[in-house]
Amino acid sequence: MVERATADPHVHRVRVYYEDTDHTGVVYHPNYLNYFERAREHLIGVDRLVRLLRVEGVGFVIYKVEMRCRRSAVYGDELEVHTTATRANDYQLTFHHKLYRARTRELLVDGHVLLACVDRNGDVAPLPESVLAVLEPG
Amino acid sequence: MVERATADPHVHRVRVYYEDTDHTGVVYHPNYLNYFERAREHLIGVDRLVRLLRVEGVGFVIYKVEMRCRRSAVYGDELEVHTTATRANDYQLTFHHKLYRARTRELLVDGHVLLACVDRNGDVAPLPESVLAVLEPG
Amino acid sequence: MVERATADPHVHRVRVYYEDTDHTGVVYHPNYLNYFERAREHLIGVDRLVRLLRVEGVGFVIYKVEMRCRRSAVYGDELEVHTTATRANDYQLTFHHKLYRARTRELLVDGHVLLACVDRNGDVAPLPESVLAVLEPG
Amino acid sequence: MVERATADPHVHRVRVYYEDTDHTGVVYHPNYLNYFERAREHLIGVDRLVRLLRVEGVGFVIYKVEMRCRRSAVYGDELEVHTTATRANDYQLTFHHKLYRARTRELLVDGHVLLACVDRNGDVAPLPESVLAVLEPG
Q: What is the pLDDT of residue B136?
A: 78
Does residue B20 have an active-site annotation?
A: no
What is the total residue count of chain D? Answer: 138
Q: Taking residues C37-54, report their average pLDDT.
A: 94
Q: What is the pLDDT of residue C136?
A: 78
Closest chain A residue by Cα to residue C59: A18
End-to-end CA distance of chain A: give it in Å, rounded.
16
Query: CA angle, corner C78, sides to C73 and C80, nearest 5?
Result: 90
In this complex, which chains have at least 3 CB pairs below 8 Å with chain C? A, B, D
Of C26, C62, C65, the CB nearest to B65: C65
Chains B–D, number of C-beta pairs less than 8 Å apart: 34
Q: What is the pLDDT of residue C137?
A: 67
CB neighbour burial string for A46-77, b if at least 16 within 10 angstroms, e if fewer: bebbbebbeeeebbbbbbbbbbbbeebbbbbb
**Contact between B49 and D76 using a beta-carbon 8 Å cutoff:** yes
Q: Looking at per-residue confidence, does C70 or D134 come out higher?
A: C70
Question: Is A121 within 8 Å of chain C by CB?
Answer: no
Percent of chain C at pLDDT > 70 equals 93
**Contact between D34 and A30 using a beta-carbon 8 Å cutoff:** yes
ipTM of this predicted structure? 0.93
Ranges of residues in chain B whose predicted pLDDT is under 50: 1-4
How many CB atoms sit inside 10 A of residue B55's CB? 8
Q: Taking residues C26-39, report their average pLDDT.
A: 98
> What are the catalytic residues of D?
22
The 3-state secondary structure of C75-138 reads CCCEEEEEEEEEECCCCEEEEEEEEEECCCCCEEEEEEEEEEEECCCCCECCCCHHHHHHHCCC
d(CA C109, CA D19): 19
Q: What is the DSSP letter of D127?
A: P
User: Residue C35 CA to chain centroid, in angstroms?
Assistant: 7
Using alpha carbons, list the distances in angstroms from residue D84 to A49, D80, D81, D98, D132. 38, 13, 10, 9, 13
Query: Does residue A19 contact residue B22 with C-beta atoms inside 8 Å?
Result: yes
Name the average pLDDT for chain C.
93
Task: Name which of B31, B41, B52, B62 to mutate to probe chain C: the one with the most chain C Cβ atoms within 10 A of its Cβ.
Answer: B62
Judged by CB atoms within 8 Å, which residues 8-27 of A form the interface with B?
18-19, 21-26
Q: What is the pLDDT of residue B4?
A: 46
Q: What is the pLDDT of residue C138?
A: 58
Query: Does residue D119 contact residue D58 with C-beta atoms inside 8 Å?
Result: yes
C79-127, pLDDT tens digit by residue?
999 999 999 999 999 999 999 999 999 999 999 999 999 999 889 999 9
Ranges of residues in chain A whose predicted pLDDT is under 50: 1-5
Q: What is the DSSP letter of D126?
A: P
Q: What is the pLDDT of residue C135?
A: 86
Of C23, C74, C75, the CB nearest to D21: C23
D91-135, pLDDT tens digit by residue?
999 999 999 999 999 999 999 999 999 999 889 999 999 999 988
Question: Is B33 within 8 Å of chain D by CB?
Answer: no
Judged by CB atoms within 8 Å, which residues 50-89 of A form the interface with B?
74-75
- Whether pTM > 0.90 for this model: the answer is yes
**Contact between D76 and B50 using a beta-carbon 8 Å cutoff:** yes
Q: Taking residues C33-42, report their average pLDDT.
A: 98
Closest chain D residue by Cα to residue B76: D46
**Contact between B18 and A25 using a beta-carbon 8 Å cutoff:** no
Q: Taking residues D6-32, report their average pLDDT.
A: 93
Closest chain C residue by Cα to residue B114: C68
User: Residue D31 CA to chain centroid, in angstroms?
Assistant: 12
Residue C73: band (very low, low, confident or very high) from pLDDT cuts 50, 70, 90: very high
Q: What is the pLDDT of residue B89?
A: 96
**Contact between B33 and C30 using a beta-carbon 8 Å cutoff:** yes
d(CA B55, CA A28): 38
